[in-house]
């Protein structure tokens, strides 16, 4: 159902508020450069520091701005199942094409608790759901056997895999079958994951180089492995630079350097160190982005 190069889009701020104008321009930039889906209110979108009202607004703006040109997969995760359910219902009613729901963080549920969390939401809201497995942030790893169990629920259609393990991704693909979309949550794993049967990437680097990430995925699916491999290596240093500090700190700095947003975060995130900012600037210059 969901396939290709999708952007985990940032949320731009201006004077402490959502910069709607800049956000709409970022969406147009993505669509013009071949991005296959827009994913607002994820980790990269600083969802943890958005109020509930802001969260709803960002999703509504995205849906309205996209105008069905590409799918909108709304981030609706929480460590509180009732809250995640409310966010998911809102996304469905607002017209999102799917939702991305991270594993509950901090409370570290068991595998059965994870299953029940996603099952309750999926059975309550008739929208395609993609669980998001990112153990480095949540403290829990949604294991392949549990993903396979979840895949039997009709509207759980894929997973965003950011465990950092290509073996785990391979196991999920093997257990869940070809109709279940395994999407990378790590830019550097895009090509390796595609090579073993993955469906695409929910990307951070697409925020700044959408045409190259879309080009890599499109080339792979067209059978042009030479081009796909070339773009993989082209983006390697840029990917490293965009994770030199915790995401989305560098990617927002990069978009600032490109003149697309204000250099602004919500605490506890803050501006990059001067040394890392200069390193990022050098990579961006060498890449031709600034």
Residue 145, domain CATH: 3.20.20.70
Using CB atoms within 10 A of its CB, is residue 145 exposed (0-12), middle (13-18) or buried (19+)? Answer: exposed
Identify whether 251 is part of a domain: no
Using CB atoms within 10 A of its CB, is residue 186 exposed (0-12), middle (13-18) or buried (19+)? Answer: buried
Q: Which of 92, 106, 115, 132 is catalytic?
A: 132
Q: How confident is the model at residue 1 (pLDDT cuts 50, 70, 90)?
A: confident
Three state DSSP letters for the chain: CCCEEEEECCCCEECCEECHHHHHHHHHHHHHCCCCEEECCCCCCCHHHCCHHHHHHHHHHHHHHHCCCCCEEEECCCCCHHHHHHHHHHHHHHCCCEEEEECCCCCCCCHHHHHHHHHHHHHHCCCCEEEEECHHHHCCCCCHHHHHHHCCCCCECEEEECCCCHHHHHHHHHHHCCCCEEEECCHHHHHHHHHCCCCEEEECHHHCCHHHHHHHHHHHHCCCHHHHHHHHHHHHHHHHHCCCCCCCHHHHHHHHHCCCCCCCCCCCCCCCCHHHHHHHHHHHHHHCCC
Domain count, the chain: 1
Identify whether 275 is part of a domain: no
**Whole-number pLDDT of residue 238:** 98
> 170-176: which pairs have CB atoms within 8 A and are 24 or more residues apart?
170/196, 171/144, 172/144, 172/147, 172/148, 173/197, 173/198, 174/144, 175/144, 175/145, 175/147, 175/148, 175/151, 176/147, 176/148, 176/151
Q: How confident is the model at residue 118 (pLDDT cuts 50, 70, 90)?
A: very high
Q: How confident is the model at residue 198 (pLDDT cuts 50, 70, 90)?
A: very high
Identify whether 126 is part of a domain: yes
**What residues make up the domain containing 59?**
4-223
Task: Give percent of the chain with pLDDT exceeding 70.
Answer: 100
Averaged pLDDT, 258-276: 97
pLDDT in tens, 27-39: 999 999 999 999 9
Two tokens, residue 223: 């059978």
Q: Which of 92, 149, 160, 265 is catalytic?
A: 160
Identify whether 119 is part of a domain: yes
Q: How confident is the model at residue 275 (pLDDT cuts 50, 70, 90)?
A: very high
How far is residue 140's CA from residue 146's CA, in Å, rounded to a whole number?
A: 12
Identify whether 157 is part of a domain: yes
**Mean confidence (pLDDT) of the chain:** 97
Answer yes or no: 160 catalytic. yes
| C-beta neighbour count of 106 within 10 angstroms | 9
Identify whether 267 is part of a domain: no
């Amino acid at each position: 159902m969901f396939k290709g190069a999708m952007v985990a889009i940032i949320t731009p701020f201006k004077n402490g508020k959502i910069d709607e104008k800049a956000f709409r321009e970022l969406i147009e930039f993505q669509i013009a450069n071949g991005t296959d889906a827009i994913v607002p209110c994820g980790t990269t979108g600083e969802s943890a520091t958005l109020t509930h009202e802001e969260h709803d607004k960002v999703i509504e703006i995205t849906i309205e701005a996209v105008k069905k040109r590409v799918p909108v997969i709304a981030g609706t995760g929480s460590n509180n199942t009732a809250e995640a359910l409310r966010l998911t219902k809102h996304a469905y009613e607002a017209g999102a094409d799917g939702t991305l729901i991270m594993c509950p963080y901090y409370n570290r549920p068991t595998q059965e608790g994870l299953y029940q969390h996603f099952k309750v939401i999926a059975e309550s809201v008739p929208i395609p759901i993609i669980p998001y497995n990112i153990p480095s942030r949540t403290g829990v790893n949604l294991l392949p056997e549990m993903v396979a169990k979840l895949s039997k629920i009709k509207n759980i259609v894929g997973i965003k895999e950011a465990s950092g393990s290509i073996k785990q991704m391979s196991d999920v693909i093997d257990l869940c079958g070809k109709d279940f979309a395994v999407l990378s949550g790590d830019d550097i794993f895009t090509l390796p994951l595609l090579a073993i049967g993955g469906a695409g990437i929910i990307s951070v680097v697409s925020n700044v180089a959408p045409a190259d990430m879309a080009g890599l995925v499109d080339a792979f699916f067209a059978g042009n492995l030479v081009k796909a491999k070339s773009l993989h290596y082209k983006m390697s240093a840029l990917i490293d630079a965009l994770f030199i500090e915790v995401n989305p700190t560098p990617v927002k700095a990069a978009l600032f350097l490109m003149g697309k947003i204000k250099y602004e975060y919500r605490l506890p995130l803050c501006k990059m160190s001067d040394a890392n900012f200069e390193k990022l600037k050098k990579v961006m210059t060498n890449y031709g982005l600034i």
